[in-house]
Structure formats: structure tokens, C-alpha cells
């Protein structure tokens, strides 16, 4: 119903749930508060089931529900639902802008916090292809039980894929923790990596795990009570971060250097986009959000635009060309944080 409400085309809508066979579906058990309890470090489930659990960390609060599930490697896991808590960090007064990319996963306004492409999937592609070829050779016709060799090859392929996923998640969490710990305000490109799945860079973009890294950064900033704002990515590669002028034509992906024809600024394309994130989020007081787009910076006819203080006591600067930002709140919802004081400028 959500796809129908959003008016998606019929081929893109999610279909009705289909029945999964027992040997193809991973078993999952969900228990509410009355169906389980924890006693002596053991998990007691309904039906007199007692499980010995290897705890990864102590529970911060009493859980309200638990989900017991089996992964593709044959390992059982128990996921508990507990109330989220915040751990505020000391203020640093630093700001940072983040732009997502393919060759470099994250480009920031500070070189020390750039996240290079780890290429975990590329390193494991040979081993994964080897086990997949073994599966193809040992696959039996439909309707017959698979051999022990096929099941072993499938387990090894799943083990390689699981390792890559864990490496990506670990790198994303560590990088997000470092960025959030050292910066109070973070401007992030609201990048949707879904459209890259149909491009020629689909494999490299998927290996970079931009979506997982972005999610880890949002969760980490919410946990440590940092001001993170999602910036609309439109025209961030064609606008100049120094004077606000916009290029007449879209830049091809092969052009990695941005050269402004108005003020003459020359910088890396990704670095220019990262500084644009700060300007549009209102974190850069000397950025292009304070300069009229009709005149270059330094012109006496340019008008300085200032916004009244917000309810929280911060100055909310207007955004460029009518594109707003979204502020991530503690409860996970997003709301508009800035408003444009003038209509969009035609291209």
C-alpha cells in the first residue's frame, strides 16, 4: 500500500508475500515480554526452552522483546529490543562537511577524516567466485536433495560474503565514531545510492557501502547528541563553494578538478562539494549562503542575507537555490531545519 500511495510504477511495486519452503527460509522466532526472561545469564523461552547465550555486551536496560534467528552459516543469534540511551560527548566547536563518492567513499572538508575506498569485496571476489563455481558444478537437478559437497561449497561462499559485510560495517562504525567524537556539527550529503545500481559503477559503488556508512554516521550522531543535517545533493558539484556561481553545464565524472569561471577558484571536485555541504547547512558563516548568487563575492552590490535566531538559539542561514536541509532528531525522525529566502535561480 505504501508503494501505491507513493505512485510508483507497477513493475517497481512490492508484490504480495510468498510462501517460503522450510529448507529455503531461515527460521526466526519472535517473543514478547511474556514469552521470555533472563535468569542467571541464560535465556529462558516459552515452552521450557533454556538457552546458553554468549553475551557480546551487557544489556543497558530491561529488554521488551527478543528475536532468535539463524543465519546462513548455521549460527543462532538473539537480538534484544531495549530503550535507546544517549551518551553526550564534550563539545569541540568543530564543524565538518561530508560528500559521498565512488572512488573515495567519503570526502570531507578535512583531509584527516577522508574515508578511502576499502575494496573489501574486490579482495574477496576471487574466493567467492571459486566457491560459486563449485556450487554450479555440484548442483543437482530440481527436486533432488543437494549433495554434501554442494552444501559445503554454499557454506563457504556464505562465509566469504559474511566476512565482507562485517568488514564494511566495522569500518563504517569506526569512521563514524571518529567523526562524531571530534565534531559538534556535521553536514552530510543526503545521497541515495539506489540509482548507482543501474550504472557502470554499480559494483564499485556497492563495494563502498555508502548507505551503510551513512546509516552508521546518523546513528552515531544521534547516540552522542551531535547536530547532523542532511543536505540535498542537487547542484553541489556545479556550484562554487567560494562565490556561489553555478557552472553552465554538468561536470562529467572524468573531470575531477573544479574550476570556477567567476572567481577563479580551483580545487578538487569532491572537496568543493564537501564545502558546499557546510554552506547549505548553515555551518559556514563565511560561505556562499551569505552571498547573493547574482553577483560575485566582493561586489559592493551583493547583499548579505541573515536569518533570525531559531527557537534553539542557533542562527539558521538560508540555503542555496531553494534546496533545504533535514535535521536528524534523537527519535530518528527528520524535519526541515532551514528555509530559503528567495526562489530558485534558473539554470
318, part of any domain: yes
Do residues 182 and 74 share a domain? no
Which H or E run contains 116? strand 115-116
* Distance separating alpha carbons of residues 176 and 214, to the nearest angstrom: 8
Residue 106 and residue 68 in one domain: no
Question: Which H or E run includes 229?
Answer: strand 227-231
User: In this structure, are 111 and 186 located in the same domain?
Assistant: yes
Query: What pLDDT is attached to residue 220?
Result: 94
Q: What is the pLDDT of residue 127?
A: 95
Do 40 and 101 lie in one domain? The reply is no
Please check whether residue 322 is in contact with residue 335, taking contact to mean a CB–CB distance below 8 angstroms.
no
- Strand-pairing partners, residue 43, are 38, 51
> By residue range, what is the domain housing residue 233?
95-115+166-336
237 and 297 in a common domain: yes
CATH of the domain at 325: 3.30.420
Averaged pLDDT, groups of 10, the chain, 347 residues long: 83 78 80 93 92 90 93 90 91 91 88 92 94 95 91 94 94 95 92 75 85 92 93 85 81 80 83 88 59 37 32 35 53 48 34
Residues 307, 285: Cα–Cα separation, whole Å: 12
| Rounded-to-integer distance, Cα 334 and Cα 110, Å | 26
**135 in any annotated domain:** no
Assigned domain for 137 exists: no
Q: Are residues 73 and 175 in the same domain?
A: no
pTM: 0.74
Q: Any residues with CB less than 8 A from the CB of 143 and at least 6 apart, and which?
A: none
Residue 341 maps to a domain: no
Residues 191 and 249 in one domain: yes
DSSP letter assigned to residue 346: P
Answer yes or no: do 62 and 111 share one domain.
no
Q: How many C-beta atoms lie closer than 10 Å to residue 220's C-beta? A: 21
Question: Are residues 103 and 43 both part of a single domain?
Answer: no
Confidence (pLDDT) at 31 = 95
303 and 170 together in one domain: yes
First to last CA, the chain: 37
Q: Identify whether residues 73 and 192 lie together within a single domain.
A: no
The domain tally of the chain equals 2
In a domain, 182, yes or no: yes
- Note whether residue 12 is domain-resident: no
Could you tell me if 202 and 281 lie in one domain?
A: yes
Q: At what angle do helices 148-182 and 125-138 cross, to 10 degrees?
A: 150
- Does 88 reside within a domain? no
Assigned domain for 133 exists: no
pLDDT of residue 244: 78
Amino acid at each position: 500500500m505504501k508503494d501505491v500511495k507513493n505512485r510508483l510504477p507497477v513493475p517497481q511495486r512490492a508484490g504480495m508475500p510468498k510462501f517460503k519452503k522450510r529448507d529455503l527460509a531461515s527460521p526466526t522466532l519472535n517473543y514478547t515480554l511474556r514469552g521470555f526472561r533472563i535468569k542467571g545469564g541464560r535465556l529462558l523461552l516459552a515452552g521450557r526452552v533454556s538457552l546458553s547465550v554468549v553475551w557480546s555486551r551487557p544489556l543497558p536496560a530491561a529488554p521488551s522483546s527478543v528475536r532468535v534467528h539463524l543465519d546462513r552459516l548455521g549460527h543462532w543469534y538473539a537480538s534484544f529490543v531495549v530503550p535507546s540511551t544517549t551518551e553526550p560527548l564534550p563539545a569541540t566547536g568543530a564543524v565538518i562537511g561530508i560528500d559521498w563518492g565512488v572512488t573515495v567513499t567519503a570526502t570531507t572538508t578535512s583531509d584527516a577524516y577522508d574515508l578511502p575506498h576499502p575494496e573489501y569485496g574486490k579482495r574477496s571476489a576471487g574466493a567467492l567466485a571459486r566457491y560459486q563455481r563449485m556450487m554450479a558444478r555440484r548442483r543437482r537437478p530440481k527436486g533432488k536433495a543437494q549433495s554434501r559437497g554442494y552444501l559445503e561449497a554454499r557454506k563457504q561462499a556464505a562465509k566469504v560474503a559474511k566476512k565482507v559485510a562485517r568488514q564494511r560495517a566495522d569500518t563504517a562504525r569506526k569512521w563514524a565514531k571518529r567523526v562524531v567524537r571530534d565534531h559538534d556539527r556535521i553536514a552530510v550529503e543526503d545521497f541515495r545510492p539506489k540509482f548507482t545500481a543501474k550504472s557502470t559503477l554499480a559494483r564499485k559503488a556497492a563495494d563502498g557501502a555508502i548507505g551503510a556508512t551513512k546509516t552508521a554516521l546518523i546513528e552515531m550522531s544521534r547516540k552522542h547528541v551531535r547536530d547532523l543535517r542532511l543536505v540535498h545533493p542537487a547542484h553541489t558539484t556545479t556550484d562554487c563553494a567560494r562565490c556561489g556561481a553555478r557552472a553552465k553545464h554538468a561536470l562529467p565524472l572524468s573531470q575531477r578538478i573544479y574550476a570556477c569561471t567567476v572567481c577563479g577558484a580551483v580545487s578538487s571536485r569532491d572537496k568543493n562539494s564537501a564545502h558546499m555541504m557546510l554552506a547549505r547547512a548553515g555551518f559556514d558563516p563565511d560561505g556562499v549562503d551569505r552571498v547573493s548568487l547574482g553577483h560575485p563575492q566582493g561586489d559592493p552590490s551583493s547583499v548579505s542575507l541573515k536569518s533570525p535566531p531559531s527557537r534553539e538559539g542557533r542562527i539558521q542561514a538560508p540555503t542555496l537555490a531553494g534546496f533545504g536541509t533535514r535535521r536528524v532528531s534523537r527519535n530518528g525522525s527528520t524535519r526541515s531545519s532551514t528555509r530559503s529566502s528567495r526562489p530558485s535561480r534558473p539554470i
